[in-house]
Structure 1
Amino acid sequence: MEQRKILDVIGVGIGPFNLGLAALLEKTDCTFMCFEQKSKFDWHPGMLLEGTTLQVPFMADLVTMVDPTSPYSFLNYLHEHERLYQFYFFEKFQIPRNEYNHYCQWVADRLNSLQFNSEVKQIKAHTEGKTYFEVSVQQGDIIKSYYCHHVVLGVGTKPVIPKDFQSLQNEQLYHSSQYKMKREKTLQAKSITVIGSGQSAAEIVFDLLQQQNEKNYELSWYTRSKGFYPMEYSKLGLEHFSPDYTRYFYQLEHEKKQRVLKNQALLYKGISFKTISDIYELIYERTIGGEKCPITMRALTELTEIERIEDSHELTLYQYEQEVFQKTVSDVVIMATGYQSSFPSFLNGMKDELQFDEQCQLKIDEQYRVKTSIEGASLFVQNGELHTHGVGAPDLGLGAYRNAVIINQIVGKEVYKLYNRTVFQQFGLKE
């Protein structure tokens, strides 16, 4: 039998979470490689608009919350780029989104464990003797196999357009994740409609409002939500994005978790106060002297049908409290309809070894390990555990913590210190 080099860890996908994993693993003796099908690190490139910021403080970088002395911290990035004094005078916790992306690219360039242009095609477990995984990776025209004891999935979520409208996608009907790439052509339209009421929708609306006087298009904004509400950003509300709340949520019964999540949308799906204020103030200024409101905004309004008409779209809207339908026409339709995780196709060959719940979602233990019938090798998940660990799953501020939990499990000792108490409030009556 050929002698195979078996790595300790292989990561699949290079977003912020697996990039943080790679940076934090530098303190260990673990052998590690991470694969990404894209050509470089690029974080939500379609929404890297000028003036937009992270919705979390700069301390939610790749490493600081578990290793503030790391050379891969955001502050060290500033130091290396001779920007510490400028940032000091900037006096803001939320940094520009473009700078966060550039920071992550800087970290990626310093790590030798990352391989881009590398698409993982299949993962399978070998259980003869000592258990290990075989990861098949397409790199150019070649498919090569790599072997490891542990796999960390960091493939993230994918843009979602409602199923009824997916076949209509084109240059004039697209997901908000493509906005920056399609922006110039969009600005040439006579009418533009944005669907959705999250942060992405609001940022696009504000950008379009700023260009409207020059380009002279009609602008509409519809959402089926009850209003254009702000995201919960009070200090005690933010404590839901903590290890303490994650531990509390994990111990709840499965059915209760689903009910709780349905009532927590505004913890992570609303609009920042600043963006709402920016939009309102611009509209207020545009309507001085009795000028017509530059935008049509309607909540409680669901998009039920789209019909392609020559170079435009006829939209059927339903106001579900009044139970009234209305039709309108729009050249461009931007679907800010969110993201969701999906089961990776490269795990299809392992389905019989993985455990699923009643909703066909992966069962995941408290240490972010997928429950399987495999012994001696672990499959970990990053940002695919909303249903088991709660609203903090996609939050950048918990990324370093989750990576520390995973690394401590892999190494078998406390490489990174984890606190027992991280918030002031208590979420339950029992530990």
Structure 2
Amino acid sequence: MLHEQKMTSDGITTESLLAIYRAMYHRFEVLREKPWAHLMPSRSVTALTRLQNGQRLTLQHHLDGGREQLESDVVIFATGYRAAQPAFLAPLSHRLHLDADEAFHINNDFTLEWDGPQSNRLFAVNAGMHRLGIAEPQLSLMAWRAARILNRAHDDEPFELATTPGVIHWRSTTSTDNSQVFKSLAQTTEY
């Protein structure tokens, strides 16, 4: 699922994109400076060679597999965030269900699958992007996630989370498309 959604929200906010766009537009279009900065998403540095006055980087593009080289005075690696199990879960780690990548099996209601009593639930937030998709960790959905968790934890479901029918219909009513994209959506999208 994440592979299909990768370019949708990775790594940057709308505000940051707008600030970068405005700065680059002003310098390169208004002031007519020769472009000296480039945005090159979806690439990994596969080699770095020190030069007398900088570095040569070898890059591999994730979408088309192409390889590129460039020289730079300064290199800043934005290597990303890698999730780790919190230390306080160590006493329960043998009871938690994990996938091949050591990620939690997390349900749509943010409960973790585990071998403990089913009346005792473990909830996790910002731990299920691999199962629930790119929206799972986003701050804009924090209140909704909290309400889902509280509804699951309380029998009386204190928060009304029913949605009104949407006005956007992504698929035709007669669609027979059973591609992996739609299977993933069906598993993670609530109607």
Matched, 1:383 2:155: no
Matched, 1:317 2:62: no
Which residue in the other structure is 1:343 paired with?
85
Matched, 1:262 2:3: yes
CA drift of 1:370 comes to 0.5
**Residues 1:308 and 1:393: Cα distance change in structure 2 (over 3 Å):** same
Letter of the 2:104 counterpart: L
Preserved CA contact (<8 Å) 1:356 1:363 = yes
Which residue in the other structure is 1:138 paired with?
none
CA drift of 1:401 comes to 0.9
Preserved CA contact (<8 Å) 1:301 1:317 = no
* Structure that is richer in strand per residue: 1
Which residue in the other structure is 1:306 paired with?
48
CA drift of 1:313 comes to 5.2
CA–CA separation in structure 2 for the residues paired with 1:422 and 1:263:
26
CA drift of 1:425 comes to 3.2
**Residues 1:422 and 1:335: Cα distance change in structure 2 (over 3 Å):** farther
Preserved CA contact (<8 Å) 1:363 1:370 = yes
CA drift of 1:347 comes to 1.9
Which residue in the other structure is 2:146 paired with?
403
CA–CA separation in structure 2 for the residues paired with 1:392 and 1:322:
27
**Residues 1:270 and 1:386: Cα distance change in structure 2 (over 3 Å):** closer
**Residues 1:377 and 1:313: Cα distance change in structure 2 (over 3 Å):** farther
Which residue in the other structure is 1:424 paired with?
167
> For 1:15-414, what aligned pairs fall within 5 Å after superposition?
258=1, 261-269=2-10, 272=14, 274-275=18-19, 277-278=21-22, 279-287=24-32, 291-293=33-35, 295-297=36-38, 299=40, 302-307=44-49, 314-318=55-59, 326=69, 328-330=71-73, 332-375=74-117, 376-414=119-157
**Residues 1:284 and 1:270: Cα distance change in structure 2 (over 3 Å):** farther
CA drift of 1:400 comes to 0.6
If the length of structure 2 is used for normalisation, what is the TM-score?
0.68
CA drift of 1:338 comes to 2.8
Q: What is the number of equivalent residue pairs in this alignment?
A: 166
If the length of structure 1 is used for normalisation, what is the TM-score?
0.33
Unaligned runs of 5+ in 2: 174-185
CA–CA separation in structure 2 for the residues paired with 1:393 and 1:303:
28
Deviations along 1:36-91, one digit per CA (max 9) or x if unpaired, are: xxxxxxxxxxxxxxxxxxxxxxxxxxxxxxxxxxxxxxxxxxxxxxxxxxxxxxxx
Q: Which has the higher contact order (CA 8 A, sep 6+)?
A: 1
- Name the SS of the counterpart of 2:122 in structure 1: strand
Over the residues paired in the alignment, what is the CA RMSD in angstroms?
3.3
Preserved CA contact (<8 Å) 2:45 2:60 = no
CA–CA separation in structure 2 for the residues paired with 1:398 and 1:292:
41
Letter of the 1:316 counterpart: L
Letter of the 1:317 counterpart: T
Preserved CA contact (<8 Å) 1:306 1:313 = no
CA–CA separation in structure 1 for the residues paired with 2:57 and 2:120:
51
CA drift of 1:379 comes to 1.1
Letter of the 1:394 counterpart: P
CA–CA separation in structure 2 for the residues paired with 1:386 and 1:324:
29
Letter of the 1:334 counterpart: I
Letter of the 2:145 counterpart: R
